[in-house]
Structure formats: structure tokens, C-alpha cells
Structure 1
Amino acid sequence: MDLRVIRTTALLALLAPALEAQTPQTGFLDRRVSVAGQSHHYQVFVPFSYTASQRWPVILFLHGAGERGDDGLLQTQVGLGAAVRQNAARFPAIIVFPQMPAESAWTGTPAQVAIAALEQVSREFQVDSDRVYLTGLSMGGNGVWYLAYRYPSRFAALVPICGFVTAFFPTARPFTPVVPADSGPPFEALARQLRRVPTWIVHGEIDGAVPVEQSRQAAAALKAVGAPVQYLEVLGMNHNVWDAAYGSPALVSWLFAQRRSR
């Protein structure tokens, strides 16, 4: 065998691990984050066209009650994850999919896990810190309001879908309000806190799970303080309005056009 061929083959064998390390993984990736000494599963979607030579927008997605668990996967099956699987090219962003345990909500530890996962992903990948977006559906819509109220300068835009701000249901478990009780009327206090954050609210007209009045009141309160808010109420649509929302070219284009104001 030609000595040059042997040398070339040996060189390629030596370089292979380095070349492999330089090629970033893409698609849905399994990750874990530690909060208060406990490890939590989450997923991150990395665009197939990802390259570390540019900074990418980030979306933090909060799932609904039906996707609670600890498998680290179910939260990608409904809502934004399903939309990405259908047409990933429409979402040129790194997307973080935390998961909350059964019988919990996007408050307390699950809220901390969501933020911790977002921060971990922001360290692992090249992200644009001025284009970090927060969206969620149903109980995740409530989580959008909860997190945004506590981190009003962190997100460039919000998309709460069929979410709620106040408790509208009887519950045996304590409900952690979006707005602390000593802050005044909840919708008005929410609007004051988020008056500078671009927000697109979506709700189904005949939602039988979360009253549409929750989103109507939030939109009205935000409009009253001059906030950059858009409200889409889908006529004849019930609770699963998220497919129409994430399938809307207008909403997706609007989202990626938003940048955090300094």
C-alpha cells in the first residue's frame, strides 16, 4: 500500500473525534437540569441549520396539564412541539421544553426548573439574549403570565394561549396567584408590570375548559395602559386553539420580529 495512503488514513482516524465534536447535535435533544439538588428532565429543540457562528432566538414553551409527568418527552407532543415536528423550518429558533410533575403547576419549583433549563440552554448554545420568547398553553398559559410577571424584562415577547390569570375553578390544592394579593386588582397589576412587553394573546371563543373572559380581561387591561398587545379570539374554537395559534404564519412572523427593549 502507498505510504501516503497509510498516513492519510491514520490522520483521518486521529481527526475523526475532533471533527465529530465540532458538529453540533440538532433536532430534539434530551437534557437534565438540577434544581435544589434534584435532577429534572427537559427537551431542547435545536434547528437542523444550527451553527455556532450566529446567535439564535430562543423560545421557552410551557405545556398544559395533560402533558405533566417525568418522562421528559410528553411535553413535546402537544402544541409547539407538534408544530415543530410538522414543519421545523417555520421555527428557526432553539426551543426549550421543560416538564412539570403530575399534580403541579408552573409555580414554585417547576417555574424554577423552567428558568434553569432556559439558562442552561443559553450557556450551551449561541443564543440572542434580546430575542427570548415565552409561550404556553392552558395551564402553560397561566405559567406565561406567572413567569412574565416575575421576570418582566427577561422576555422579548409573550404568547399565552387559552391561559388564565385568576382562579376560576374550585380546587382542594392551594392556588398560587399570578399577581400577589397585596398588589391590587390582578388584571390591572399584571398590565402595569407587563406594559412594555409585546404580547399576543390567543383564546378560543367557546373554550369549555378555561373561560375566554380570562384572556379578554387580560387583553383589555393591557390595552388600557397602552401596552403593545394583540388579541386573537378564534370564533367557534374550543380549548385546543393552540394548533391554530402555532399554525398561524402571522403570529409566528410577529414573534420572531420582536426584540427586547433596553
Structure 2
Amino acid sequence: MLRTLAFLTAAVVGTASAAPAQFAERSIDVHGKTYRYQVFIPADVKSHPAVVLFLHGSGERGDDNQKQMSQGLPPWLKEHMDFPAVVVIPQAPDDTEWTDKADADFAMAALEKSVKEFDGDRKRLYLTGLSMGGYGSWQLAADHPDTFAAAAIICGGIVPLPDPEGRQLYVHGVPKGQDPYTWVAQKIGKTPVWIFHGGDDNVVPTEESRKMNAALVKRGAVVKYSEFPGVNHGSWMKAYATPDLWEWMFAHTR
């Protein structure tokens, strides 16, 4: 009887002490400016978890640390709270792009701080983003070719794209006279990429992803390409609902 009671007590205590999955607010100072971001923390997070960096689109920019939770991966996470990885969810300020150096540095600093906070596995760092965040994902993959184990890039692009506020969104650093898709394909090194795009995207041309896929295939890179026929710009809903996406991502390590 005492053994049974002791076992039941231990079970109850163990259950009560297990931390539930949650989103938590964080902040970081980069180049003299304070940025805020969100982190998804898995239930009862273990040592050396995988860590995912998610970059939102242009409509979620701001300083409320909330709008970036409204599209793409965060809503999917809210329906899949058993997700096993830490997810870093920064918010780009208004009038900026993820391809800007300041925003790129902030995203990478938030990732680094989260890796240290949760003792993340540096061999299992992953990158994903949509629209403006897709452009930013290509930028980070090119600028940090030895960081990410794999990337899922959704309706992003490479060459200049005017945004509604008149700025130019494009991947920075492409040498004059070089084919931008070939250059990015070479710069990202061995990082495996799964590219997603809507077949009827009238915001970021589908051709952007087709050309990046072709450039990666040409150099013999590890790449998958999924195009959703009849889908406009919001292809991230289908992309994050792809059944084997995370199994594919997590199968890759550095």
C-alpha cells in the first residue's frame, strides 16, 4: 500500500512539475537598439533541443511583439503545441526589411540568445520564412552558410521587389554582373532547402522560386520544390500543413 501511494505521489508530483508548452516574450539589444521577439518553448523542454528561426512577412512588421504571431508558423504552432523544437519568432520594425543588415543581425542575435538560453543543439538549427521573410531566409542562408541544418523558404525571392511602401526588397550582396540565383545557390553552400510557392502568386512572382530551384538543382544541391496550383500569395498555409515537412527538416543535421 505504501509503495503504491509513494508511486502515485511521485507520478502526481512529476506531472505537476512538467512545464507546459508556451509562448514567451523576450528582448535583446543589438547595435544600441532594443528589439522584442517571441519564443515558442516546448513542453518540458529537454537539453539540446532543435531551434527554429521563423521570419514573418511585411504585413506583420511593428513593435508590438504580437503581429508576427498572426501568420504562418505561429498559428500552426498554436494548433500543434506538441512541437518538439524551440522556435524563435522575431518582429521586424516598421519600414524595414529582413534583408536589411540591422534586421538580419537582430534575427541572428535572437537565435543565438535562444540557443544559449535553452542549451540548443547547434547541429540542429533550422530556418524558415514567408514572403518578406522568404527573402530574408535566402539572405540569411547566403550570409550564414554554415549555421543552418536545413531551411523551408515560402513565397520568397531574390531580385528587387517593390513593397507597398516604396522600398526595394531584394537579397543584398550579389556582385554586379553575376546571375543572382546562381550566386545565392553557391553562397548557401550545403544547406538543404525546401522551396514552396503558390502557382498564381501575384505578389512575389512564382518564377522567383522556380529559378532558385533550378539554380540549386544545377549545382547538385539538396533541394525540394513544391508549387501549389491555383494558390495566390498565401501559400504558407499549405506549406506548413505539408505532412512530412518537419520530418524532412529534422532529418538534416550539421
TM tier, smaller: 0.7 to 0.9
Distance in 2 of aligned mates of 1:141 and 1:69: 18
What CA RMSD, in Å, does the superposition of the two structures yield over aligned residues? 1.8
1:96 aligns with 2:91: no
The 3-state SS of whatever aligns with 1:130 is: coil
Shift of 1:228: 0.2
Bigger radius of gyration among the two:
1
133-142 or 160-169: bigger deviation: 160-169
Unaligned runs of 5+ residues in structure 2 are: 1-16
Give the Cα separation in 2 of the matches to 1:23 and 1:116. Answer: 29
Q: Please, which of 146, 152, 158 is the counterpart of residue 151 of structure 2?
A: 158
Whether 1:248 and 2:238 are equivalent positions in the alignment is no
Matches of 2:174 and 2:181, distance apart in 1: 11
AA in 2 matched with 1:47: P
State the secondary structure of the residue aligned to 2:141: helix
Q: After superposition, where does 1:91-240 map in structure 2 within 5 Å?
A: 91-106=83-98, 107-169=100-162, 172-173=166-167, 175=169, 177-182=171-176, 184-240=178-234
- Call closer, same or farther: CA 1:175–1:237 in 2, change over 3 Å: closer
Structure 1 position 226, deviation (Å): 0.1
Work out the CA distance in 2 between the residues paired with 1:72 and 1:183: 39
TM-score by length of structure 2 reads 0.88
Give the structure 1 partner of residue 56 of structure 2. Answer: 63
Structure 1 unaligned residues grouped into runs of 5+: 1-21
CA contact (8 A) 1:60 1:118 kept: yes
From 37, 42, 45, give the equivalent of 1:42: 37
Which amino acid letter does the alignment assign opposite residue 253 of structure 2? R
C-alpha spacing 1:78/1:206, structure 2 compared with 1 (3 Å): same
Q: SS of 2:247's equivalent?
A: helix
8 Å contact 1:131–1:258 — kept in the other structure?
yes
The structural deviation recorded for 1:26 is 4.4
Using the aligned pairs only, state the percent identity: 41
Shift of 1:105: 0.2
Distance in 2 (alpha carbons) for counterparts of 1:141 and 1:25: 30
Determine the structure 2 residue equivalent to 1:11: none
Contact 1:157 1:197 in 2 (8 A): yes
Q: What is the CA distance between 1:172 and its match in structure 2?
A: 4.2
Deviations 1:210-250 (A, max 9, x none): 10000000000000000000000011111111011111111
Instruction: Write the letter of the residue equivalent to 2:63.
Output: D
SS of the residue corresponding to residue 50 of structure 2 reads: strand
State the Cα deviation string for residues 137-162 of structure 1 (Å, max 9, x = none).
00000000011110001000011100
Extract structure 1 runs of 4+ deviating beyond 4 A.
Answer: 22-26
**Cα distance in 1, alignment partners of residues 18 and 244 from structure 2:** 33
Equivalent pair of 1:195/1:225 in contact (CA under 8 Å): no
Whole-Å separation in 1 of the counterparts to 2:151 and 2:133: 12
Contact 1:200 1:229 in 2 (8 A): yes
Residue 183 of structure 1: how far off its partner (Å): 7.1
Aligned pairs, how many? 236
**CA–CA distance in structure 1, aligned partners of residues 216 and 167 of structure 2:** 29
Structure 2 CA distance for aligned equivalents of residues 183 and 37 of structure 1 = 36
Deviation at 1:180, TM superposition (A): 2.3
* C-alpha distance 82-254 of structure 1, shift in aligned 2 (>3 A): same
Say whether the 8 Å CA contact 2:135–2:170 is kept in structure 1: no
Do the aligned residues in 2 keep the contact of 1:195 with 1:222 (CA within 8 Å)?
no
What's the CA shift for 1:103? 1.2
